């Protein structure tokens, strides 16, 4: 258990940051889920619209330090490839 005042403060700050980061990751997951449901339904226009909404959310996760840059790049690449492969 932390004894120093600064260590106790650090524990409180880490807890707050973990809560915020968890909500950011959950938000990203929700946006990705909308793209995947649109792909599963086969609706290309909805999938494209959802993909356009998920791109800034993923990039925001990168700038906030919640998700790694290469992870975002990989996810966007795979999602866009799946949307592109849908029949028009």
Name the pTM for this structure: 0.85
Helix or strand (DSSP H, E) at 48: helix 44-63
Q: Is there a contact between 48 and 29 (Cβ–Cβ < 8 Å)?
A: no
pLDDT of residue 2: 86
* Every domain of the chain and the residues it spans: 5-84
Q: How many CB atoms lie within 10 A of CB 24?
A: 17
Successive 10-residue mean pLDDT values, the chain, 88 residues: 92 96 97 96 95 96 96 96 88
Which top CATH class is 5-84? mainly alpha
Tokens, residue 60 = 């925001």
pLDDT of residue 88: 62
């Amino acid at each position: 258990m932390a004894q120093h005042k600064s260590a106790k403060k650090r524990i409180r700050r880490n807890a707050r940051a973990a809560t915020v980061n968890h909500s950011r990751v959950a938000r990203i997951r929700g946006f990705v889920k909308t793209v995947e449901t649109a792909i599963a339904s086969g609706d290309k226009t909805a999938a494209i619209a959802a993909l356009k909404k998920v791109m800034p959310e993923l990039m925001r996760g990168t700038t906030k330090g919640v998700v790694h840059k290469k992870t975002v790049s990989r996810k966007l690449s795979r999602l866009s490839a799946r949307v592109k492969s849908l029949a028009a």
